[in-house]
Amino acid sequence: MENIDRFGRRITYLRLSVTDRCNFRCIYCMPASGVEWRPHADILRYEEIVRIVRAATAIGIRKIRLTGGEPLVREGIVDLVQEISRIPGIDELVMTTNGALLPLYADRLAAAGLDRVNISLDTLRPERFQWITRIGRLEDTLAGLYAAREAGLSPIKLNAVVMRGINDDEVVDLARKTREGFGVRFIEPMPVGKPDTNLKGRFVSGEEIRARIERELGPLIPVRDEGPARVYRISGAPGEIGFITALSAPFCDRCNRMRVTADGKLRPCLLSPVEIDLKGALRAGAGDEEILALLKEGMRRKPYAHGLAHEFPHDRTMSEIGG
């Protein structure tokens, strides 16, 4: 099979960053001053993104996730969703967003063919939310969450990066959102880029998060391993809880994804600086077979493990890579 890498992993999932820009400045993602935005000419055009997706389906990519930065700040995003949703072979088209703009876009995204959304939600407390995001408002993200559910962009997963002394006291409250039918993904912070908030000593393992939840809500029921997440349920809750443990219990052996940055670099592993220049090839006139060959090269160069135990990648911030 063309989508089997050299370690026997089936690569079926491509994350596409459509912009490096964001309307938040989350403390674990970028400095308070933001990052220097890349000129618009350096960002992949929508027609280039569509060409990449078409080529990706030929090697067995079946799931596309649109990310940023914040994907909803890019003009014309609904049109891109519609174009990708029409490509044969794509079984699932999803988006990760901070949710603040979903009240404006949820219905249009659903009509264009988006299947569902993940929404970043690290806290349920308004003042804390503003502190973590620096400029965001909890009420906007919550409005987006419910707009997405009303539009049918479900099941909705809430992504929470857990940091000791910042929001770790809310893991049980966040877990209770599964009783409302939302999924919750608890994510260990990853040392990518150079955010100017010192997260040293803030690490909370997935196992500790799980133990805190079980102390209050009872034993979690194992459901499955799904990509990077080990998935559980609270008894009686329709939504699921997932733990993404890149540091404490790496999931590299079952990683099924590659990424494309907003400036058109194929990144076989989030936490490795290896990049392959798709945009340069596209703008030099590369045909579909050449783009296909570069995607295959990405699979060949995908490392077995991210190596975070040895060194931390600082070549880009998380907002520049697309998470």
Considering the domain delimited by 13-321, tell me its CATH architecture: Alpha-Beta Barrel (3.20)
Task: Please state the three-class secondary structure of the chain as a single string.
Answer: CCCECCCCCECCEEEEECCCCCCCCCCCCCCCCCCCCCCHHHCCCHHHHHHHHHHHHCCCCCEEEEECCCHHHCCCHHHHHHHHHCCCCCCEEEEEECCCCHHHHHHHHHHHCCCEEEEECCCCCHHHHHHHHCCCCHHHHHHHHHHHHHHCCCCCEEEEECECCCCHHHHHHHHHHHHHCCEEEEECCCCCCCCCCCCCCCECCHHHHHHHHHHHHCCCEEEEEECCEEEEECCCCCCCEEEECCCCCCCHHHCCEEEECCCCEEECCCCCCCCEEHHHHHHCCCCHHHHHHHHHHHHHCCCCCCCCCCCCCCCCCHHHHCC
> Does the pLDDT of residue 306 top 90, yes or no?
no
32 band by pLDDT with thresholds 50, 70 and 90: confident
Average pLDDT, the chain: 91
What is the tens place of the pLDDT at every residue in 132-177? 999 999 999 999 999 999 999 999 999 999 999 999 999 999 999 9
Q: Which residue has the higher pLDDT, 294 or 39?
A: 294
Give mean pLDDT, residues 224-252.
88
Residue 64 and residue 14 in contact, taking contact as beta carbons nearer than 8 Å = yes
Number of neighbours of residue 5 by Cβ within 10 angstroms: 20
Task: Determine the Cα–Cα distance for residues 271 and 292; give it in Å rounded to an integer.
Answer: 23
């997260």: which residue's tokens?
Answer: 199
Alpha-carbon distances, residue 308 vs 72, 189, 190, 247 (angstroms): 31, 12, 9, 7
pLDDT tens profile 91-109:
999 999 999 999 999 999 9
Tens of pLDDT along 62-92?
999 999 999 999 999 999 999 999 999 999 9
Question: What are the contacts of 292-298 at 24+ separation with CB within 8 A?
Answer: 292/55, 292/58, 292/59, 294/266, 295/52, 295/55, 295/56, 295/59, 295/258, 295/266, 296/2, 296/59, 298/258, 298/266, 298/267, 298/268
Question: What's the pLDDT score for residue 226?
Answer: 80
Q: What is the pLDDT of residue 317?
A: 65
Q: How confident is the model at residue 35 (pLDDT cuts 50, 70, 90)?
A: confident
Predicted confidence band of residue 310 (pLDDT cuts 50, 70, 90): very low
Q: Is the pTM of this model over 0.75?
A: yes
Residue keyed to tokens 């998470």? 323
pLDDT band at 316 (very low <50, low <70, confident <90, very high): low
Between 304 and 285, where is the model more confident? 285
